[in-house]
A and B are shown apart, each in its own frame.
Chain A
């Protein structure tokens, strides 16, 4: 997931924002900002396109949904389940 944009290094060229497949980044007041961090899919396109080396994307992705328990068990044990 995207972690940081070094605003000292960022020159506000906007390449990262233009290329992000998910519109995670925007340029505000002349600097790139992480506007929608939740949408990052860890593709590194922003980091690879930054001419200043200002962006760091961590290789870990967002947590994947669990396969266990099965749905029957899940529904029967869920707190506050409306009957």
Chain B
């Protein structure tokens, strides 16, 4: 087939939303509720009515309940994120969290309650105030939320396209005017003409397990090229994952007494943090796991024997894919709750890096907004914050874009030349010989998974990793090909993962200290004088990565930065 001849369609809309996950759907909902006359087109590379990662999520939701203090929650995260918290933004976000929980309730999503109808919460990461609220039945909480939101999309008349990857933004000067993309089954080419564009593509991940179906770095690449500022790419979520299968729910079982033990049977987290033990963030645990394994005390096992019987309702799957998984493992002779030899390993999942935006999700580019997990807020992940932050920031950005469109003029049309140039570039990898996207993907995943690249970093190991990435970029990436539109989508994902990995490595090199999930063996201490700030990266004039440290504006903030979560650990 001659890919230059592939059919193309121009689609016109008021707002193009890239990504139909929780964040994209919340933004669409608010746009339509503000102005039913707006045309909203939501495009997702996943299947029809997918709803993003939320479909697989447990449904745990972080919210500040009435009567609780928002300030207490903000103080908790200032401490938990080692100071890297936009305090005013988080105050606003937390203060809307209960409203969004109620919205989900009104849409028919049920949360776990006691006999008096009070929500039953689980404290997070040994923090004083932050809690998550689990779904009523363990296993289908997120699926119910996804289905409820998809129904809202239908009710509100949001136009939706599936199996369609958006690959490039189109700008006119400092303003976004549209985008292009293609259908991953038919190969058809699309030119989107939009007055505003919202990026709601989720976290950027290295495609492990359940995150395989969300973004890698496609949107990172698009935003980078559009001139958007990106931050926090030195952070990772390195999960403690069962070696052989999937299991969700760490945010809850670690809070209720679950713990990891090494090959000698020692609950080793007690050694690294006598205060918190295993009741902490996964990244501190996987860092310790790496040290244990490196020092010959692996493998690592999970021990759930300390969980109280009355708390098992929070932990045991009751329905949905989690229940099916549990039963299938039983059929294989694996009893997750009783076996003592289930091996766990550290696994790189994603970065918490994302767009550095204005409070309403606006970027420096007119008409371009970012919400949900593609917008970087948290410096260390907290259970339940995925679903609450996506609802809240989607809501905020939907309102902001509706506002913007009240006065925004119409942008110019995407020109025939622009569309044709992007089309030629897009289909250029089509072919039948070379390396498959998967072959190249595995090399980048392997590169990231070395313990001295993802957990115990140093200038030497990070520089070596950058060198190896460069080698893959010059020797292997040009040999990668796509045999059909399905593989072209995978191709674009793997292409995006190169920039993602580079941003991670460069930010990790710049931060010559340890903070949050970022740990440098050669700089094991915090250095507030130079690094109490966000590492912001953007594209320079020559296409390279330009970096700076943007200090936390302490004078402007309400709460002092004088307690640090990482002080609880000695490695």
Contact = CB atoms under 8 A, between A and B. Distances in A.
A43 B452 contact: no
B449 A66 contact: yes
Contact of A71 (B208, B243, B464): B464
Contacts of B448: 65
Kindly name the residue among A66, A71, A74, A75 whose own CB sees the greatest number of chain B CB atoms within 10 A.
A71
A67 B486 contact: no
Contact of A59 (B56, B210, B325): B325
Interface in B203-232: 208-210, 212-213
Given A68-B451, A71-B447, A61 B245 contact: yes
A20 interface: yes
Interface in B243-293: 243-246, 290, 293
B212 A41 contact: yes
A55 to B, nearest CB: 12
Contact of B468 (A48, A69, A75): A75
Contacts of B209: 41-42, 61
A4 to B, nearest CB: 14
Interface residues of A, number: 34
Contacts of B244: 60-61
Interface in A39-83: 39, 41-45, 47-48, 57-61, 64-72, 74-75, 82
A33 to B, nearest CB: 13
Contacts of A59: 245-246, 325, 328-329, 332, 334
B341 interface: no
Nearest to B489: A23
B391 to A, nearest CB: 21
Contacts of A64: 208, 241, 243, 345, 347, 449
B185 interface: yes
Nearest to A65: B449
A30 interface: no
Counting chain B residues whose Cβ lies within 8 A of the other chain, the interface size class is 35 or more
Nearest to B441: A38
A54 B188 CA distance: 32
A10 interface: no
B450 A74 contact: yes
A70 B47 contact: no
A19 interface: yes
Nearest to B162: A18
A23 B48 CA distance: 11
B490 interface: yes
B566 interface: no
A65 B486 contact: no
Nearest to B490: A39
A28 B87 CA distance: 55
A21 B453 contact: no
A48 B163 contact: no
A50 B198 CA distance: 35
Contacts of B452: 70-72
A32 B452 CA distance: 43
A22 interface: yes
B71 to A, nearest CB: 40
A43 B293 contact: no
Nearest to A41: B212
Nearest to A47: B324
A2 B546 CA distance: 43
Contact of B446 (A36, A44, A57, A65): A65
B212 A23 contact: no
Given A21-B50, A47-B324, A67 B293 contact: yes
Contact of A18 (B48, B56, B184, B454): B48
Contacts of B305: none
Contacts of B328: 57-59
A69 B213 CA distance: 28
B346 A21 contact: no
Nearest to A82: B471
B519 to A, nearest CB: 14
A48 B321 contact: yes
Kindly name the residue among A19, A44, A67 whose own CB sees the greatest number of chain B CB atoms within 10 A.
A67
A39 B212 contact: yes
B461 A72 contact: yes
Given A21-B50, A41-B209, A60-B245, A67 B324 contact: no
B465 interface: yes
B567 interface: no
Given A58-B328, A70-B294, 12 more contacts: A41-B212, A45-B321, A59-B325, A59-B332, A59-B334, A61-B244, A61-B245, A64-B347, A65-B449, A70-B452, A75-B464, A75-B468
30 contacts: A18-B47, A21-B55, A21-B212, A21-B213, A35-B486, A39-B438, A41-B209, A43-B210, A43-B321, A44-B324, A45-B321, A47-B324, A60-B245, A61-B209, A64-B241, A64-B243, A65-B347, A65-B442, A65-B448, A66-B449, A67-B293, A67-B346, A68-B293, A68-B451, A70-B294, A70-B452, A70-B456, A70-B461, A74-B450, A75-B464
Q: Which 7 A-B pairs have the closest CB atoms?
A: A65-B449, A70-B452, A21-B213, A71-B450, A59-B328, A41-B212, A67-B451
